[in-house]
Structure 1
Amino acid sequence: MSEILGHLKPQAVFHYFEQMTKIPRESGNEAAISDYLVNFAKEHQLEYVQEPCKNVIIKKPATPGYENAPRVILQGHMDMVCVKDDELDFNFATDALPIYVDGDWLRTKGTTLGADNGIAVAMSLAILADNTLSHPALTVLVTTEEETGMDGVMALNPENVSGDILINIDSEEEGVALASCAGGVRNSLKLPIEWTEVEATNMVSYELIISGLKGGHSGIEINKCRANANKLMGRLLHEIADLDLLVASVAGGEKMNAISKRASLKVTLPSEQVASLESKVKAFEQMVRAEFETSDPGVSVVLQQTEVTTKVFTKQTAQRLMYILQLIPYGPQTMSANISGLVESSSNIGVVEMNESEIEFSSAIRSSVSSLKGEINHRIQAIADLTGASMELIADYPEWQFETESKVRDVMKDVYQQMYGKELEVSAIHAGLECGFLSQKLGKIDMISIGPDITGAHTPKESLSIPSTERVYDFLCEVLKAIKA
């Protein structure tokens, strides 16, 4: 069946997943994967809709005996976070993901795997293709651009989707069914750049690089107290601020919703101060290694000499850059008083990038309480006001509120007990799921979220548990079979 994954079970699930690893599907570049889903529907003679935003909806009638059962929507997103190891020569727009099997795990050689959320799509296609299963009327909803602000679900035409129950397959822990999630927004703070020119005489230029961090998912792994390279760069700027140092450029992070694992800064300074700079950078590296010896033992801070750069930020711009990186919030901001260990609100400064006119700081703000999400944004607005920057909120999405009564939750708990002899855990997550928007779009609908074990999402260490995938798929099929009245 599949050259690499053909021996794995469920065969159909891993067949479709492997096909997806060969198709570009970075957020915003989903045309090819969207067309793949349409071709699947055509090949299986299933009703489908491809929306202008490239969302794909595929429908399959109920099997005999299930004509009057509650209609079920299976939902996931087709896009993935595309992050790779810094040294890897790889193009997500053209290259197949370098997947391989490592015992019970599916991994890649230096890139994200895209199990978040390709495994939902693969499971849904396997169910649609299998005419031996018993199930209610099915609608498979596959959305675009979930990872960059949920643009697909925001653009969804609700007239194209109908159902009584929605099963989201975008969770990452087997045995845990999610019944609520955080809302979020992308916070974009932009600092205008003022430039100046300096004489090259007796000046040298260096690039300061912070790397070797673990990074991670800015929702699920924000509670692990990992270092953020963008925040560390703010601290490093403060440590070397007493030198006659001029900043020429700054960059950090890859994705707004991933914890930044690399940042760089180009500077120009008098040659007689190089020894002091080297000493301060070495001391800073030793300090952060001690601070993050458990969470980020590979952290590295290095200096690399470059060609002399004479076009630099003004002192005021460089100072404001330092202030913003120091002050902008990062990490858990409040913890839930109702669910032990659950982050209630958080902020992640994921990307720092610049062009000729401005530096943009992109943060992922999350909270299960909308007023606290607003409070974090108010603080960033205050930073903008104090530094002459501007702030914009992009792709604001709502939280998913917990419902005390849920038929699908009860069915899942019964099926899980029967299959595995233990209780299904019902919980909440500090990550954004599309369920919040879907509850607004589709009206009162019974929703739940499940998924197999995935580790390291949004990082090159992303891994999918093979046996967990088989168990969750079997569980999902049994749940569909049990939804009969």
Structure 2
Amino acid sequence: MPTTLEDVKKHPVFHYFAEISAIPRGSGNEREISDYLLRFAQEKGLEGVQDDALNIFIKKPASKGYEHVPAVILQGHMDMVCEKNKGTAHDFEHDPISLQLKEDMLYACNTTLGADNGIAVAYALAILDSNDVPHPALEIIITTEEETTMKGALEANPELFSGEVFINLDSEEEGKLLVSSAGGITATQALPIQWETAQKDLKGYSIQLNGLFGGHSGMSIQKGRGNAIKLLGRILHDLSVQYPLHLYAINGGLKSNAIPREAEAVIYVHEKSSMDLPKLVSDWAQILKSELRTADPGISVTVEETDHVPDKVYSARTTQNVITSLLLIPNGVQSMSQEIQGLTESSTNLGVVTSDSKEIRFVSEIRSSVKSLKQHTVRQVELIAQLTESRFSTEADYPEWPYLPDSKVRRLFEKVYQKLYGTSPEIAAIHAGLECGIFIEKLPHIDAISLGPDMFDVHTPEEHVSVSSTIRTWDYLVAALKEMNDFYR
């Protein structure tokens, strides 16, 4: 196995992963990476299409002797979640991702790595660039904004595809073949701010929560990790019961599909009440440390006095509506599957709260493998918006990927895995949202599977990927493509 970063980059997959890591590609900022992929196709003499959503579609003819095999669609997404540790000087709009090797694991430097889903892009480019990997006709689709709105997949033109086999490369556990995934929708509650003149005897404090693990809201929601926004709501509610307080600002989380690791509220209380506030917050720090001693032992709750003297603060009604929203908006696992042991069936994640001079916005990522249950949670959030005099909206509604009992591509990958490793792969469903459901809705005839190497702590600055697992998964994928010549006769 390679022992230095330069040695790792000699493998074709990591060669291309390093190349795309030098290109900023946060969700919504994909123009440069999309243009790079289109140039790649043109330079290799392949048919390439860039659509209005900046999706890239590349075709490569079948190897000799594979002309009779149904065309294979290989799919991944080019965007990444952009998170960094507090105090890290990194501009995701312009700066490249810095790579570092720690034994078998590839990390970034205090930022997300982008292995989700840059490894899929690297697999696709390596296959397209190879002359010694036998394969059926290939149709590569690399989508945009998967981590936010699923816009790329939703806008992909099904007329560009003729393939019957669909291989998604957006999984995160080696040896596990995904055959079903949840659908999802993003729900936003916008609460208008009523301001009132600040009284003269108010004292200000900033209450901050940080040190939480966070994580992907689909992959990690069942782990019981703390949600910084919801925990902050509990503290604010308790303080509001003790004495009158006025909010001035509240912010937390970065992405709706990431469990929020940090949150902060600026509040003002009367000076006569301020004597007890630091102790009350300190008590809450101990309560939460006890509650989360296993799931989130690094949680930190701090309070700092602020010298800022405001002209205005949130009205008592707005403050109460914010606290009510923080307490009542559902969060976490809502139901477990009764068919697949250990599978989260429905969940919701209050991932972001932001405030400006006009409104406070609460953004939730709602997931379910059952469409009616997904809509049930949406209705709950909508009713809370009505209760708190807020506007409600939804976006990025994408379908679930239903299980196909007689999948031929699943049998193929099981056979190849058995041949390579002498054991059977795990067949599983996933609670995270994959683009397979969208493509199956557009192309009902396709037979889909999803696979990928071992990745850890995705959507966090601790994200890392196993080098050896990535190489083994590459070998597995190449072997499966080669086996199709006989399997699809």
TM-score (norm 2): 0.97
Distance 1:262 1:174 in 2: 31
Distance 2:286 2:262 in 1: 17
> Structure 1, residues 357-407: CA drift from partner, whole Å, max 9, x if none?
211100000000000001111111121121111211111000000001111
Q: Which residue of 2 aligns with 1:332?
A: 333
| Paired residue secondary structure (1:413) | helix
State the AA in 2 paired with 1:323: T
Distance 2:56 2:233 in 1: 43
Task: Tell me by how many angstroms 1:10 deviates.
Answer: 6.7
**Does 2:75 match 1:45?**
no
Indicate conservation of the 8 Å contact 1:6/1:15, yes or no.
no
Task: Tell me by how many angstroms 1:9 deviates.
Answer: 6.9
Q: Which residue of 1 aligns with 2:253?
A: 253
Q: Which residue of 1 aligns with 2:276?
A: 276
Q: Which residue of 1 aligns with 2:130?
A: 130
Q: 1:139 to 1:10 in 2, by over 3 A?
A: farther
**Does 2:139 match 1:139?**
yes
Q: Which residue of 2 aligns with 1:320?
A: 321
Task: Tell me by how many angstroms 1:246 deviates.
Answer: 1.3
Tell which deviates more after alignment, 164-173 or 83-92.
83-92
**Does 2:488 match 1:449?**
no
Task: Tell me by how many angstroms 1:132 deviates.
Answer: 0.9
**Does 2:291 match 1:297?**
no
| Paired residue secondary structure (1:84) | coil
Distance 2:233 2:206 in 1: 15
State the AA in 2 paired with 1:192: P
**Does 2:19 match 1:19?**
yes
For structure 2, which runs of at least 5 residues remain unmatched after alignment? Answer: none
Q: Which residue of 1 aligns with 2:363?
A: 362
Q: Which residue of 2 aligns with 1:391?
A: 392
**Does 2:487 match 1:481?**
no
Task: Tell me by how many angstroms 1:245 deviates.
Answer: 1.8
Distance 1:322 1:95 in 2: 38
Structure-to-structure mapping, 1:398-413, within 5 angstroms: 398-413=399-414
Distance 1:6 1:68 in 2: 40
Indicate conservation of the 8 Å contact 1:162/1:442, yes or no.
no
Q: Which residue of 2 aligns with 1:219?
A: 218
RMSD: 1.4
Q: Which residue of 2 aligns with 1:229?
A: 228
Task: Tell me by how many angstroms 1:275 deviates.
Answer: 2.2
Distance 2:162 2:8 in 1: 33
TM-score (norm 1): 0.98
Task: Tell me by how many angstroms 1:90 deviates.
Answer: 1.1
State the AA in 1 paired with 2:450: S
Q: Which residue of 1 aligns with 2:116?
A: 116
Indicate conservation of the 8 Å contact 1:218/1:259, yes or no.
yes
Task: Tell me by how many angstroms 1:243 deviates.
Answer: 2.1
Indicate conservation of the 8 Å contact 2:343/2:430, yes or no.
yes
Indicate conservation of the 8 Å contact 1:9/1:470, yes or no.
no
- Size of the aligned set, in residue pairs, is 483
Indicate conservation of the 8 Å contact 2:251/2:353, yes or no.
yes
Distance 2:49 2:162 in 1: 13
Q: Which residue of 2 aligns with 1:426?
A: 427
Q: Which residue of 1 aligns with 2:58?
A: 58
Distance 2:311 2:323 in 1: 20
Distance 1:137 1:94 in 2: 36
Task: Tell me by how many angstroms 1:109 deviates.
Answer: 1.7
Distance 1:329 1:59 in 2: 44
Distance 1:309 1:245 in 2: 14
**Does 2:422 match 1:416?**
no
Indicate conservation of the 8 Å contact 2:9/2:18, yes or no.
no
State the AA in 1 paired with 2:237: H
Q: 1:472 to 1:10 in 2, by over 3 A?
A: farther
> Structure 1, residues 156-200: CA drift from partner, whole Å, max 9, x if none?
11112220101000000000000000000001111111011113x
Task: Tell me by how many angstroms 1:427 deviates.
Answer: 0.7
For structure 1, which runs of at least 5 residues remain unmatched after alignment? Answer: none
> Structure 1, residues 392-443: CA drift from partner, whole Å, max 9, x if none?
1111000000001111111100100000111011110000000011001123
Indicate conservation of the 8 Å contact 2:213/2:225, yes or no.
yes
Q: Which residue of 2 aligns with 1:436?
A: 437
Indicate conservation of the 8 Å contact 2:249/2:356, yes or no.
no
| Paired residue secondary structure (1:240) | helix
Distance 1:442 1:282 in 2: 56
Q: Which residue of 1 aligns with 2:29?
A: 29
Structure-to-structure mapping, 1:46-195, within 5 angstroms: 46-195=46-195
Indicate conservation of the 8 Å contact 2:9/2:15, yes or no.
no
Distance 2:267 2:310 in 1: 8
Indicate conservation of the 8 Å contact 1:77/1:118, yes or no.
yes
Task: Tell me by how many angstroms 1:305 deviates.
Answer: 2.1
Distance 1:332 1:13 in 2: 36
Task: Tell me by how many angstroms 1:97 deviates.
Answer: 1.1
State the AA in 1 paired with 2:154: M
